[in-house]
Amino acid sequence: MKESDCIYGLRAVIEAIRAGKKIDRLLIKQGLQGALYHELMIEVRNHDIAYQIVPLERIELVTRKNHQGVLAWLSLIEFQSITNLLPMIFEKGEDPLIIALDGVSDVRNFGAIVRSAECLGAHAIIIPEKGSARITADAIKTSAGALHSFPVCRERSIVRSIEYLKQSGLKVITAGEKSGSQISDAGMKGPVVLIMGSEDKGISRELIALSDQQVMIAMKGEIGSLNVSVAAGILLYEITRQRAL
Q: Kindly report, residue by residue over 160-194, the tens digit of the pLDDT.
A: 999 999 999 999 999 887 677 889 888 899 999 99
pLDDT in tens, 119-168: 999 999 999 988 888 888 889 999 999 999 999 999 989 999 999 999 99
**pLDDT of 118 over the 90 cut:** yes
Distance of CA 20 to the CA centre of its chain: 22
In this prediction, residue 210 carries a pLDDT of 96
R_g (Cα) of the chain, nearest Å? 20
Q: Say if CB 126 and CB 103 are below 8 A apart.
A: no
3-class secondary structure, 12: helix
Distant-in-sequence, close-in-space partners of 144: CB < 8 Å, separation ≥ 6:
115
In this prediction, residue 224 carries a pLDDT of 67
The C-alpha torsion from 220 through 224 and 226 to 231, rounded to 10°, is 60
Mean per-residue pLDDT, 28-42 = 95
Which of 245 and 162 is assigned the larger pLDDT?
Answer: 162
The per-residue pLDDT of the chain, averaged, comes to 91
**pLDDT of 222 over the 80 cut:** no
Q: Quick one: pLDDT band at residue 100, thresholds 50, 70, 90?
A: very high
Domains, the chain, in order of start with CATH, read: 3-74 (3.30.1330.30), 82-244 (3.40.1280.10)
Alpha helices in 25-154 (DSSP H): 35-46, 56-60, 82-91, 107-119, 137-142
Residue 207's region, left for phi above 0, alpha for psi from -120 to 50, else beta, is alpha
Q: What pTM, to 2 d.p., does this model score?
A: 0.84
- Residue 99 CA to residue 189 CA, distance in Å, equals 14
